[in-house]
Structure 1
Amino acid sequence: MRIRLPASAVRAVATLPAAAFRRLAPAAVVLTLLTPLYGCRAELVPPGAPTPWASPPGGYWRWQWQLRGPVDTGVDADVFLLDPVRVTSTETAALRRQGRRLACQVPVGSYAGSDPDATRFPAAVRGAATRRSGGHWLDVRRWDVLRPVLADRFRLCRGKGFGAVAFADADGYAHRPGFPFGFDDQLVFNRRAADLARSLGLSPGLVDDVAQVVALAPDFDFAVNQECVRLRQCAKLLPFVDAGKPVFHVEFTGATGVFCVTSVGYGFSSIRKNRTLDAWRRPCPPP
């Protein structure tokens, strides 16, 4: 690739004093070498760049949720929700080359004994058992203790090329966490965690926690929901839809021909999955 300078620029350089020319020459060489590189390469989105949600392809997000087994990178989906610990950098790189958007699922209000960072949680913040195998709730009032661990969980996502993070177990107040924190304590914690994710270049998403959607929809960029059709809770997710934010919805039972009528009607991106969240999926047809 050859760059031709205009005649006026050539004349200007020719009239420069010798000392000035010697100072400018190295910079001119660097510019000549770099211009073809930037002019001939497409701009790449760096790892950790927040996921853009504004314009879904065809007006409808196709998505996949896989937490078990080797990631099937051939699934026809725009968005992949994955476990940042299990997934490999090779798998995320393959998806990024295909232009997929990647969201990692991070438990923000709980830990499991099998988690690589389990020993970082002192006994004072470890609570009652969660629904997750081997999991325990955390005392979300102790932001001073939880923040550095969550920051490292989010950095793991960013380092593997994710642009978004979905907060799991962000609803301990609605269970029996083993601590006397309530609705408002959970709101404060979830908002802090969302701000932390943004500060690290990640787009925050809320998993379930349907009772707090009205309050938290302005603080999150997307929602992930399980079984709102079966539980008759889909209308509670409309604050995300009304704000132009995606709702990624899954049902584990029922025929897609039945529940899709409801979920797609609400504007959700819906799929049928096995509860194990392996690679199998059956998507709802787009509207």
Structure 2
Amino acid sequence: MRVLLFRLTASCLLLLSFLSPLYAADWYRPPVSVTWQWQLDGVVNEGYDVDVYDIDLFDSPADLIERLHASGKKVICYFSAGSYEDWRPDAAVFAAKDLGKTLSGWDNERWLDIRSQSVRDVMIRRLDLAVEKGCDGVEPDNVDSYRTNTGFYFHQNDQLKFNRFLATQAHQRGLAIGLKNDPDQTRALVDEFDFSVVEQCFEYSECRSYSIFIKNNKPVLSAEYRKIYVDDVSQKNTMCKQSLALKFSTLVLPLELNDAFRLSCLP
């Protein structure tokens, strides 16, 4: 009986190895206070001495990711999960019925119907691309669209289902995944995401909403864009003091995320 059980167990493990990465056993889990660089536009500056790079999934070639890995860095790959971007190579795949209103301030982006199976199929292919390129994790953007007038009638529970779908699919492929913004759902989703990426939480006094990640030993990758943090050292130091107390990994960056400048609250 023990021999039979061993053979069955071994067979199951062999089967899972053939199915990998769809049944990945583990994935990268960044620690609290991890150092990072976030650049989504322009030629990526590879020279920062940090633990993690967050770069664009489509614009970053596999050899760039290989070089970052060779220098001891992990790589998070960005894509928008909740919006259609008309310049992406897979833009033509989206169905017209799944395209909603234009994003405020972004004329070439439209909200997606996150309830659509077709939209989910596109996201699955993007996660597969992340695996193909060698990304260690992903940062899906626009995953709090239920709070916005998207042109669709979905609600908070629809957003939770979609975000959990993304997390499950990422983990099945051995990818870490970050929860982008979405302050009102952090408690509901913290167990299923490996880190958080937040923008302007100090500017808008939302940072406490993300502390649940720190309490669960998961980092908060924070970005601020206020010019005063660049122009006034005392303002930047005051903000950084708050960030360090919260154990956030905070950067001051240009809104375009093009490496025009970079200030860090971490050593």
TM-score normalised by structure 2 residue count: 0.84
Task: Tell me the distance in 2 between the aligned counterparts of 1:195 and 1:208.
Answer: 19
2:225 counterpart of 1:232: no
2:260 counterpart of 1:260: no
Task: Tell me the distance in 2 between the aligned counterparts of 1:89 and 1:111.
Answer: 23
Instruction: Structure 1 unaligned segments of length 5 or more: list them.
Output: 1-45
Task: Tell me the distance in 2 between the aligned counterparts of 1:176 and 1:209.
Answer: 15
**Larger RCO, structures 1/2 (Cα 8 Å, 6+ apart):** 2
Amino acid at match of 1:283: S
Shift of residue 258 of structure 1? Answer: 2.1
Aligned twin of 1:273: 253
Which of 60, 65, 82 does residue 109 from structure 1 map onto? 82
Which of 166, 172, 176 does residue 199 from structure 1 map onto? 172
Where in structure 2 are the equivalents of 1:5-24 lying within 5 Å? none
Q: Is 125-134 or 205-214 further displaced after alignment?
A: 125-134
Shift of residue 272 of structure 1? Answer: 0.6
Shift of residue 152 of structure 1? Answer: 1.1
Deviations 1:184-210 (A, max 9, x none): 111111101110111122111111111
Amino acid at match of 2:129: L
Which of 180, 188, 204 does residue 161 from structure 2 map onto? 188
2:94 counterpart of 1:121: yes
Shift of residue 133 of structure 1? Answer: 4.1
Aligned twin of 2:27: 50
Given that residues 99 and 110 in structure 2 are in contact (C-alpha distance below 8 angstroms), is that contact kept between their aligned partners in structure 1?
Answer: yes
2:52 counterpart of 1:71: no
Amino acid at match of 1:74: G
Which of 83, 91, 116 does residue 56 from structure 2 map onto? 83
Task: Tell me the distance in 2 between the aligned counterparts of 1:250 and 1:133.
Answer: 23
Shift of residue 264 of structure 1? Answer: 1.5
Given that residues 68 and 277 in structure 1 are in contact (C-alpha distance below 8 angstroms), is that contact kept between their aligned partners in structure 2?
Answer: yes
2:184 counterpart of 1:211: yes
Task: Tell me the distance in 1 between the aligned counterparts of 2:221 and 2:113.
Answer: 28
Deviations 1:165-221 (A, max 9, x none): 112010111111110001111111110111011112211111111111111111100
SS in structure 1 of the partner of residue 30 of structure 2: coil
Amino acid at match of 2:143: A
Given that residues 138 and 177 in structure 2 are in contact (C-alpha distance below 8 angstroms), is that contact kept between their aligned partners in structure 1?
Answer: yes
Shift of residue 82 of structure 1? Answer: 0.5
Deviations 1:89-129 (A, max 9, x none): 22111100011011011111111111111111111111111
SS in structure 1 of the partner of residue 28 of structure 2: coil
Task: Tell me the distance in 2 between the aligned counterparts of 1:121 and 1:285.
Answer: 40
Shift of residue 137 of structure 1? Answer: 0.7
Given that residues 249 and 266 in structure 2 are in contact (C-alpha distance below 8 angstroms), is that contact kept between their aligned partners in structure 1?
Answer: no
Given that residues 70 and 87 in structure 1 are in contact (C-alpha distance below 8 angstroms), is that contact kept between their aligned partners in structure 2?
Answer: no
Task: Tell me the distance in 1 between the aligned counterparts of 2:102 and 2:188.
Answer: 27
2:135 counterpart of 1:162: yes
Amino acid at match of 1:168: D
Task: Tell me the distance in 2 between the aligned counterparts of 1:162 and 1:133.
Answer: 29
Task: Tell me the distance in 2 between the aligned counterparts of 1:223 and 1:137.
Answer: 22
Aligned twin of 1:33: none
Q: Percent identity among equivalent residues?
A: 32
Aligned twin of 1:138: 112
Deviations 1:35-75 (A, max 9, x none): xxxxxxxxxxx9x9732324x6xxx3111000011111111
Task: Tell me the distance in 2 between the aligned counterparts of 1:82 and 1:157.
Answer: 11
Larger radius of gyration: 1
Task: Tell me the distance in 1 between the aligned counterparts of 2:225 and 2:82.
Answer: 24
2:222 counterpart of 1:249: yes
SS in structure 1 of the partner of residue 42 of structure 2: coil
Instruction: Structure 2 unaligned segments of length 5 or more: list them.
Output: 1-20, 230-235
TM-score normalised by structure 1 residue count: 0.78
